[in-house]
Homo-oligomer: A and B are copies of this chain.
Amino acid sequence: MAKQFVCSYDHPIVTTKQGKLRGFETDGTYVFQGIKYADSKRFQMPSDPASWEGVKDAHSYGFVSPMLDRETAVGEIAVPHRYWPKDENCQYLNIWSQSLDENAKKPVMVWLHGGGFSAGSSIEQVAYEGENLSRFGDVVVVTINHRLNILGYLDLSPYSKKYANSGNAGNADLVAALKWIHENIAGFGGDPENVTIFGQSGGGGKVYTLMQTPAADGLFQKAIVMSGVGDGMSIPANADSRPLVDGMLKELGLTAAEIEKLETLPYEALAEAYKKVSPAIREAGGYVGCAPIPNEFYAGDPREVGFTEHAKTIPTVVGTVIAEFGGFAPGLPKKHELTRQQELEILKPKFGTDTEKLIALFEAAFPGKPITDLLVLDGFSREPSKDFCRKKAVSSQSAVYNYLFTYEFPIDDGRAAWHCSDIPFFFHNTDLVPICNIPGVSDQLEDRMAASFVNFARTGVPGCPSLPVWEPCKPDDIATMIFDRECRVVHNLDDELQKAIYPYAQRPDFAQKKEKKDGEQEVVILH
């Protein structure tokens, strides 16, 4: 039977600080798309959005931030995307809710999208759609667009006071969004005093950088960092942006005195200059922007500078998936039918004399998994995530929980979970992402995973009755919830394995995004 659609002249309408908005209702879920939560001038802090008379329709997702690279569609089966019109004025958010009663006080879950701090949007992945999670968990789901890359994270502070925080403008947008949510979410059935921020990859980075941002204190109460912690991703406190910006100015034929011209040049010109100048600076370890820079606004990476007193009070979930960036490689033909001998022949060319040791450690950690998954095992995010948990667990003011998603997807004769592949499960959106689905298995798993996050948002404790008890981490005891066909909690699962895999593991290439050439099709599999 069709879902009931409702959108009349006087329903559903919510009054915000700026004016009245009309959304729509589909089978009891209220949807509001493309709400402007702030305005901004380039490189400036965001300001309050304009007010209006009458009723505005919130019936289309808003502009997303311009991005540095030409968009290409590759591997959509693994991570289905939505591309969208772009504009610098991109401070829009979207809301899904089961109630518009201002006394309903439902938990609020605010999604911060990934794509580093350079790409992506609130709706970039099909799996970011909020309807299912809102309905399943009876929570208010909010997703946010904000300024990215050189529009959101280019430090011009050495050139003028007016650019004091241009290096964190993108995160300042997020704070503005959280402020808008704090002031307005009750009208959408949400509890402004119970807001959980969650994000994956760069979105996870946004979560923990906001934990370290005093302006956001009190605007959220809980945090979930999904596959967002890694080494070498943070900008140090003493970073000097001048080589980068001077190089861009030179490229654009401008002097430092003409810095304000960067405010009005077309974005494309800035982007070209940035892409020309930044690779050499990145190579030399210098500042290339595109991530928050520590200053008065942002305290810095908590693993390096310590958690702020406020961050210590935030219950946090931190997790990763088993293969992360290694998981984008095609799987191994007939991998479940290989003999031990065949497996060894496949592993030895890569792991040499470490092969036997790695196998022993892998089998101890993941009994029943094919040992050839060592080829794709994440060695980039897991250990730093545990490091985050250990350091967070030192404070007794709030708990920190860890998870690992080890599901094998039904493609290529079985493929280990790749970066982003957990999102449809936590969003209860596997019906939108076909590759997830094994009837009776994937649906049960998404119930457990989505319920774990919903219960964390509601109570501060993750998990659900059909799972073993999810214990918090201690500084010397990382308790990991393993999400898979069978879920289990394991203590200190893989310290030795991670140490051993580190030299071999696949790392993301932050420097360059591969472009699909004209006419190029997907990976060729040679039989």
Binding site for B on A (CB under 8 A): 1-10, 22, 24, 26, 31, 33-34, 36, 39, 49-50, 52-63, 70-78, 82-85, 87-89, 333-334, 410-413, 430-431, 434-443, 516, 518-519, 521-527
Interchain CB contact under 8 A, A4 and B438: yes
The 3 closest A-B pairs by CB, nearest first: A57-B522, A59-B77, A60-B76
Distance in angstroms from A74 CB to nearest chain B CB is 6
Q: Which listed residue, B26, B50, B413, B435, touches A5 by the CB 8 Å rule?
A: B435
Interchain CB contact under 8 A, B8 and A522: no
Instruction: Name the residue on B nearest A518 (C-beta).
Output: B89
Q: Which listed residue, B52, B72, B434, touches A85 by the CB 8 Å rule?
A: B72
Taking A2-B443, A50-B519, A85-B516 as given, write out 8 further A-B residue pairs in contact, using a Cβ cutoff of 8 Å, ordered by the A residue number: A1-B439, A2-B441, A10-B527, A39-B519, A53-B524, A56-B524, A57-B522, A83-B85
Interchain CB contact under 8 A, A434 and B5: yes
Interchain CB contact under 8 A, B74 and A525: no
Interchain CB contact under 8 A, A522 and B9: no
Instruction: Name the residue on B nearest A77 (C-beta).
Output: B59
How far apart are the CA atoms of A523 and B10 in the complex, in Å? 15
Distance in angstroms from A407 CB to nearest chain B CB is 13
Distance in angstroms from A173 CB to nearest chain B CB is 14
Interchain CB contact under 8 A, B333 and A2: no
Q: Which listed residue, B22, B84, B434, B526, touches A73 by the CB 8 Å rule?
A: B84
Interchain CB contact under 8 A, A77 and B60: yes
**Neighbouring B residues of A24 by C-beta, 8 Å:** 77, 411, 434-435
How far apart are the CA atoms of A443 and B8 in the complex, in Å? 21
Q: Contacts A59-B522, A60-B77, A77-B59 hold; do A54 and B5 have CB atoms under 8 A apart?
A: no
Interchain CB contact under 8 A, A527 and B75: no
* A-B CB contact pairs (8 Å), 20 listed: A2-B437, A2-B443, A4-B439, A5-B410, A8-B411, A8-B412, A8-B413, A9-B333, A9-B527, A10-B527, A52-B524, A54-B527, A55-B525, A56-B525, A57-B522, A59-B75, A60-B74, A63-B518, A70-B85, A85-B516
**Neighbouring B residues of A437 by C-beta, 8 Å:** 2-5, 26
How far apart are the CA atoms of A527 and B15 in the complex, in Å? 14
Q: Contacts A5-B411, A26-B434 hold; do A526 and B59 have CB atoms under 8 A apart?
A: no
**Neighbouring B residues of A33 by C-beta, 8 Å:** 76
**Neighbouring B residues of A26 by C-beta, 8 Å:** 434, 437
